[in-house]
Structure formats: structure tokens, C-alpha cells
Amino acid sequence: MFDFSGRVAMVTGAARGLGRAIALGFARGGAVVSLTDRDGDGVEEVAQAIRQAGGRATAYACDVADADQVRLTVEATESSLGPIDVLVNNAGITRRIALFDWRPEDWDEVIRVNQIGTFLVAREVGKHMVGRGKGSIINMSALGGGLVGLGRGNAIYCATKGAVAAMTRDLAAEWAPFGIRVNCVAPGWFRTEMNAPLLKNEALTARILDRVPLGRLGEPEDVVGPVLFLASDASAMITGHTLPIDGGVSTIVRLSSEPVVD
């Protein structure tokens, strides 16, 4: 799809779901990949799959909300693999809790991982990129991060993802003079472990599918092409952009599945 031979890509939250698919996609494109996740065993399994396919990858257990762990992981990556050319800030969590039942500790955990963690990793990798005068960062927002309201106990999650999209624009503005591009993707409803509890409900799944103009859930592989595009030289004139990957949910109002409504 895109050639990343000779480049180093770092993917956070790479043990499963979208992060895993993205990491494997970069490896197929020839990149050397640094994978991080709080689940050290899980991310090592992904790295091993890349190695078995003939690629090169390292795995690090890292909590993106811990500044010291982030610093050490970035330093270890650059020491073992070389300068990081691409960062995919994918790590994230959710808590689906009715708004009146949210506790401060619930709020704090989601913000620390989704919002502060994204900033900490971008800042640490950005320090190295600024010194070299080049780099591409792709952050992970979401359909509910300013595109549509989701409800279902997602207020805090959506707030953090909206913050990620806003932060993306600001980082893009600040780092553009240094040749660093910062963009964002906003996936819609995807078939991932994070969404598995929702998709067990057949009635809810049917309602979701009715909202998606393309008529299906996203699969993890569907996010790979857009992310690799934003990381590649093909998007050299794109920065500060949030790209929805949602089957048209955020831009199309589908009144009927019929071609003509009398």
C-alpha cells in the first residue's frame, strides 16, 4: 500500500484492536516497528508475529499516562531501532457509566490515558523530531470526539477524544515550522474488544448499522490505510486534519435505504 522501508514507526496501544492492525500494517509496508502497551505480554505477541513474518519489531510495556515510562520507552526505541519517523498515538480506554454515576477517579483514569497520555507521548517523540526537522504524528480521536454525540454513558470518553482533536490542531500549528505534520483519525463503530460489550446486544447493533450509510461495522484493517496515508509522503501537504473513518456517519444523513422515497 505504502512503502515505509528504512523508517521507524512507533505505535501505542498495539496489543490488540486498531493498534495491532496498524502495527502489522506498518510492518507489511517495510517499517521497523516499536510497539507499546500496558499489556506487555500482549504487545510482545504482536511483535513476535511481525518477526515471524520477516519484519523487525520491539515491544515495550508502557503506561502512556506515566511520563517517566514514556521517556524511557522513547529513548529505548531510538537507541535500539533508530530515530522515530512516525508516531501513532493509539492508546486509549473507555468507561461506559451513566453520567450521574461517574466518580472523580473514573474521570481521572480516562483523562490520564486518553488525553494526557496522548500529549506525553507526542511531546517526548516530538522533542526528537524537532531536532531532526521532520516527522509525522497521527493521533486517535473518535466519532464522538466532536463529530456526533453518542450518549450511552460516553460523555467523558467523548470529551477526551474531542480534546485530542483540538490538541492535534495546536500541535500541528506549533510544530509545522519544524517540518513535523500532526494529524488525527476519528474511527466510528468498529468491531473491537472495546466495543464487544455493545455488539453483544443484537438490537443495539441493528440500530448502529442503520446509522451507518455504508451499512457495516468497521474492521480493524479499515483504519490501516488511512493511518498509513497520513504517515506517508503522499500526505506531505496535510497537517492539522482530523479524518473520520466512520462509513459516512458524521457527514451523511440517510433517511432511507431505498433509492427513492415517494
Catalogue the active-site residues. Answer: 157
Number of neighbouring beta carbons within 10 Å of residue 104: 7
For residue 216, give the 3-state DSSP assignment.
Answer: coil
Cα–Cα distance measured from residue 22 to residue 11, given in angstroms and rounded to the nearest whole number: 8
Nearest to 137 by CA among 194, 80, 84: 84
At residue 85, φ and ψ (nearest 5 deg) are -90, -35
Q: Which helix (H) or strand (E) holds 88?
A: strand 86-89
Place of cell 474521570: 107
Residues paired with 61 in a beta bridge: 37
Cα–Cα distance measured from residue 208 to residue 225, given in angstroms and rounded to the nearest whole number: 23
Cα–Cα distance measured from residue 170 to residue 147, given in angstroms and rounded to the nearest whole number: 18
% helix, strand, coil for the chain, step of 5? 45, 15, 35
CA 186 to each of CA 145, 179, 241: distance values in angstroms, whole numbers, following the listed order = 8, 23, 10
Secondary structure letter of residue 67 according to DSSP = H
Q: Check residue 240 and give left, alpha or beta (phi > 0: left; psi -120 to 50: alpha).
A: left
Cα–Cα distance measured from residue 250 to residue 150, given in angstroms and rounded to the nearest whole number: 11
